[in-house]
Structure 1
Amino acid sequence: MFEEYIWDFDGTLYDSYPVILEGFMSTLNDYGIQANRREIYQILKEKSSAAIAEKYHLDFDEFTKIYKGYEAKDPRIPVSYPGTKEVLEAIVAKGKKNYILTHRLVASTQELLEREGMLHLVEEIVGPENNFPRKPNPASLNYLVDKYQMIPDKTVMIGDRTMDVDAGRNAGIQSIFYDLENLLEDIDANYTVHSVKEMNQFI
């Protein structure tokens, strides 16, 4: 169905939110803020980490530095959702390509993929080192589309957050909302899946 698959990483390919959320909660606690874990998770999914900093009137750069520190020190190693490797392999087997667009550092993303033998299945990873504006700004997607001469109707952005879907729409490509938890409503994606296996219909 598609030829080029651009994946978000955290919460889409990898079940990393337990570690990420714990980092946010610890950071807010450092500021003396007793926040509701579920509410923080909802903000992360619907909006972004910047929205959390804004909600509590915190400096975003400082806030980010602290929570990234907590995340780095967490001994838990995120793993991919069951079936993820099989989906990526199926895409490559058909001569199609996978890309990753993430707010996670490229080196960290590569390391996690390598641990599970999936790094070779990804053509390119675009992360914060590329210095593009954060999603939903389409600049990072536009870069991939231009570099690989992707056809918009044959290219899809896949992600678990509103910003992923919005980024895809802003770039003029297709979008799949990865709603593994039935958490968000009224997401303006071209398609929605509720499990990794449902991705097979789009390969």
Structure 2
Amino acid sequence: MINNYFWDFDGTLFDTYPEMVKAFQEALRLQNVIATRTEIYKIMREKSVRQAIQIYQETNLNLDVEQLRVSYDDLERQSQKNTKLFPGAKEVCKWVVDNGGQNFLLTHRDQSAIDMLRETHIIHLFSDFVTSDQKFPRKPNPASLNYLVEKNAVDYQKAAMIGDRELDIAAGHNAGMKGYLFDFDQMISTVEKPDKRVLKLIDLIQK
């Protein structure tokens, strides 16, 4: 039974995209670059914030990339209080623990991700964490997953990486574990085949 879950944060445990998109749109507007939330969301959802910055830099040569990053980070941080867990997230994490497994957080965010687990009262369901503060290579590199597995003596055969993008699935497979895709809006097409693809988190544990 798969009962050790390695969770991505943005777009998997927490529905952060609405606030991320809003913050990015405003950060662009501060430099007189106009973009719709729909187009920003599509880039973020299918790629990443990092790649969104690169794309807008390529089409707006006067864009101050460093200022865009700073503005976005500040605006997005201020909006975190509005961010909520996806439905089913707490129930699945509790199921994992109740069935003798462990939950782990693996995110490109900083310490703020752990703070949000604490604020939503689910931190007690997590055994360990990797954030950007630990300077691991970014997913799909499996180094951070392997670190958590080895540190916590997890059986790879009983483990799965859960995320909302292909790089999460690839990271899991690169580490030798399952890769589960949470494709809540059915936007993701993958070359890397997920071992499970769900539209609702609760479907991860329902037969």
TM-score of the superposition, structure 2-length normalised? 0.88
1:37 is the counterpart of 2:42: no
- Which letter does structure 1 place at the counterpart of 2:52? I
> What is the rounded CA distance, in whole Å, between the counterparts of 2:44 and 2:85 in structure 1?
19
- Which letter does structure 1 place at the counterpart of 2:9? F
Per-residue deviation at 1:191?
1.3
Equivalent positions of 1:26-65 (< 5 A) are: 26-57=26-57, 62-65=67-70
Per-residue deviation at 1:33?
1.8
1:85 paired residue number: 90
* Structure 1: unaligned runs, 5 residues or longer: none
**Alignment partner of 1:56: what SS?**
helix
**Alignment partner of 2:206: what SS?**
helix
Per-residue deviation at 1:53?
1.6
RMSD: 2.0
- Which letter does structure 2 place at the counterpart of 1:181? D
- For each residue in 1:55-106, what CA deviation from the matched residue of structure 2 results, as whole angstroms up to 9, or x when unmatched? 1226765533221101122274211122221111111011100001112222
> What is the rounded CA distance, in whole Å, between the counterparts of 1:164 and 1:85 in structure 2?
20
* Structure 2: unaligned runs, 5 residues or longer: 58-62
1:198 is the counterpart of 2:203: yes
Equivalent pairs, count:
201
CA contact (8 A) 1:45 1:162 kept: no
Distance 1:64 1:169, change over 3 A: farther
Per-residue deviation at 1:131?
0.8
Per-residue deviation at 1:129?
0.6
1:129 paired residue number: 133
1:143 paired residue number: 147
> What is the rounded CA distance, in whole Å, between the counterparts of 2:66 and 2:173 in structure 1?
27
- Which letter does structure 1 place at the counterpart of 2:118? E
1:166 paired residue number: 170
Distance 1:75 1:42, change over 3 A: closer
**Alignment partner of 1:104: what SS?**
coil
Question: Percent identity over the alignment?
Answer: 37
Per-residue deviation at 1:25?
0.9
> What is the rounded CA distance, in whole Å, between the counterparts of 1:114 and 1:36 in structure 2?
33
- Which letter does structure 1 place at the counterpart of 2:70? K
1:95 paired residue number: 100
Poorly superposed stretches of 4+, deviation over 3 Å: 58-63
1:19 is the counterpart of 2:19: yes
1:105 is the counterpart of 2:110: yes
> What is the rounded CA distance, in whole Å, between the counterparts of 2:25 and 2:11 in structure 1?
17
**Alignment partner of 2:100: what SS?**
coil
